């Protein structure tokens, strides 16, 4: 068996289309349908954030009126450019011309019109450092980051699932090989029994027993073969591949970092925890913007105009003040944000506590897996000696065929158990890597 396994490993390394663990990251790229579906959302979130930045677009505007009533006549034209800002300021520069009697204003200009500069300031927003436009832009940006992080968590979970599945496929492949080896070994033993029965060394019932054992092993072999094919198909579906094969490979027991080191890395890396922190950052922005509602709305407009015909400057100041007496919206939003702060604060604490629990479980499981593997290696060595001894006794006519078959089956099962523990340790390592940003 040892020589066959060695040959399998060599063949696996030489085979060009053999799927390795390191191929997974290459195959889970932007062309992979599963990855593409997630990355498409990244583009959507970025587009939404970019759309919000349109609040700060420089705008061209124009307004024209013409009226001809029985007792009055009037024309009005204004065209210019408008630029808003994040902090409640708005600046415009325009040309306007008014003729005759105006219907909705008392604007009068010279025959050649005038140039007008206007600065509009929402005083409370300006002093608070954030206006409506700034709030919309910043909120969209933080929302993009938070939503992207949640999708990155989905991408991380996909990678973990596929990489753990890869080790499960390898484990299933080794089961197929071990049970195939057991089947071939039992078939060889059948030839030995046949010769022994003919010579009168073994009873005829031994031949029936070994034939029954062969059929049982065939059944077991086809079952594990089917399990392997199903797992391989699932893996190939995730990776969107066809022209690859799975060769038997064994991985050593992986190294596990300490709990303290991994916890520190995980808290700063895990996308879903970072997404919660972004929600808290968004909440801080919303509370900051809400302060604008706490005070009266004071909008100040400063005008500076230049009449082209008269070649003179003019000035105008306008102030608008409003304040809702009950201010119910402010009070309601304040309660809403208090509840959100409690929710996301608790969610962050809960997520960090769950993370600590998961890491402690991994640490303990890794420790006990190492002990199990050490014990299993010793057990495999013992069963190899037991198989040799039982075969020797049977050939000497001192033992039973039943014991030989039992020992051979137990050896194979313990070898499978050893490999299963090693692959479980590697799956555990994948999980640990996913928590600490090394995947």
pLDDT band at 16 (very low <50, low <70, confident <90, very high): low
DSSP 255: P
Task: Categorise residue 251: left if φ over 0, alpha if ψ from -120 to 50, beta otherwise.
Answer: beta
Average pLDDT over residues 314-320: 95
pLDDT at 281 over 50: yes
- Any idea how long the chain is? 439
More confidently predicted of 406 and 285: 285
pLDDT band at 396 (very low <50, low <70, confident <90, very high): confident
Q: Which residues contact 113 (CB under 8 A, 6 or more apart)?
A: 77, 95, 96, 97, 98, 307, 308
pLDDT at 340 over 60: yes
Query: Closest Cα to residue 85, out of 49, 120, 46, 61?
Result: 120
Q: Which residues contact 275 (CB under 8 A, 6 or more apart)?
A: 146, 147, 149, 150, 153
| pLDDT for res 70 | 87
What tens digit of pLDDT does each residue of 70-100 get? 888 999 999 999 999 999 999 999 999 999 8
* Best-predicted range by mean pLDDT (11-20, 39-48, 385-394): 39-48
Q: What total of structural domains would you count in the chain?
A: 1
Q: Which domain holds residue 102?
A: 2-436
* Best-predicted range by mean pLDDT (10-14, 196-200, 243-247): 243-247
Average pLDDT over residues 230-243: 94
| pLDDT for res 429 | 93
pLDDT at 4 over 60: no
More confidently predicted of 250 and 223: 223
- C-beta separation of 15 from 195 below 8 A: no
pTM of the model: 0.83
pLDDT at 250 over 90: no
Question: DSSP states of 102-129 as a string?
Answer: -SS------TT-EEEEEEEEEHHHHHHT
Query: Domain containing 250 — which CATH number?
Result: 1.20.1600.10
Strands in 89-100's sheet, in edge-to-edge order, are 59-68, 73-84, 89-100, 114-122, 297-307, 312-322
pLDDT at 277 over 60: yes
Query: Closest Cα to residue 88, out of 137, 140, 141?
Result: 137
């Amino acid at each position: 068996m040892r020589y066959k396994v060695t040959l399998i490993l060599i063949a696996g390394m030489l085979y060009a289309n053999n799927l390795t663990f390191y191929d997974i990251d290459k195959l889970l790229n932007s062309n992979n349908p599963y990855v593409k579906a997630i990355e498409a959302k990244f583009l959507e979130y970025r587009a939404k954030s970019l759309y919000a930045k349109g609040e700060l677009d420089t705008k061209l505007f124009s307004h024209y009126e013409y009226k001809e009533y029985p007792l009055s006549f009037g024309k009005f034209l204004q065209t210019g450019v408008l630029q808003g800002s994040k902090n409640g300021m708005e600046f415009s520069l325009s040309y306007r011309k008014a003729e005759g009697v105006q219907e909705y204003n008392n604007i009068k200009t010279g025959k050649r019109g005038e140039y007008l500069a206007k600065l509009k300031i929402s005083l409370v927003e300006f002093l608070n450092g954030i206006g409506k436009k700034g709030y919309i832009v910043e909120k969209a940006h933080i929302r993009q980051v938070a939503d992207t992080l949640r999708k990155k968590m989905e991408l991380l979970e996909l990678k973990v699932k596929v990489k753990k599945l890869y080790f499960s496929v390898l484990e299933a492949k080794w089961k197929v090989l071990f049970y195939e080896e057991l089947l071939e070994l039992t078939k060889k033993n059948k030839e030995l029994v046949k010769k022994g029965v003919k010579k009168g060394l073994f009873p005829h019932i031994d031949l029936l027993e070994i034939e029954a054992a062969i059929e049982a092993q065939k059944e077991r072999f086809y079952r594990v073969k089917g399990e392997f094919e199903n797992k391989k198909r699932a893996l190939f579906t995730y990776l969107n591949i066809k022209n690859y094969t799975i060769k038997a490979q064994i991985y050593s027991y992986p190294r596990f970092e300490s709990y303290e080191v991994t916890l520190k890395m995980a808290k700063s890396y895990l996308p879903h925890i970072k997404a919660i922190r972004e929600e808290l950052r968004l909440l801080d922005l919303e509370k900051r913007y809400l302060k604008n509602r706490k005070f009266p709305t004071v909008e100040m407009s400063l005008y500076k105009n230049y009449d082209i015909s008269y070649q003179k400057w003019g000035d105008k100041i306008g102030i608008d003040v409003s304040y809702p007496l009950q201010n119910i919206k402010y009070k309601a939003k304040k309660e809403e944000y208090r509840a959100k702060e409690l929710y996301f604060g608790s969610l962050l604490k809960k997520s960090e506590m769950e993370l600590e629990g998961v890491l402690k479980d991994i640490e303990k499981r890794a420790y006990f897996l190492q002990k199990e593997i050490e014990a299993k290696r010793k057990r495999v060595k013992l069963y190899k000696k037991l198989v040799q001894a039982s075969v020797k006794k049977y050939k000497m006519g001192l033992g039973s065929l039943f014991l030989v078959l039992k020992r051979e089956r137990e050896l194979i099962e313990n070898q499978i158990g050893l490999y299963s523990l090693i692959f479980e340790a590697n799956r555990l390592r994948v999980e640990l890597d996913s928590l600490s940003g090394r995947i």
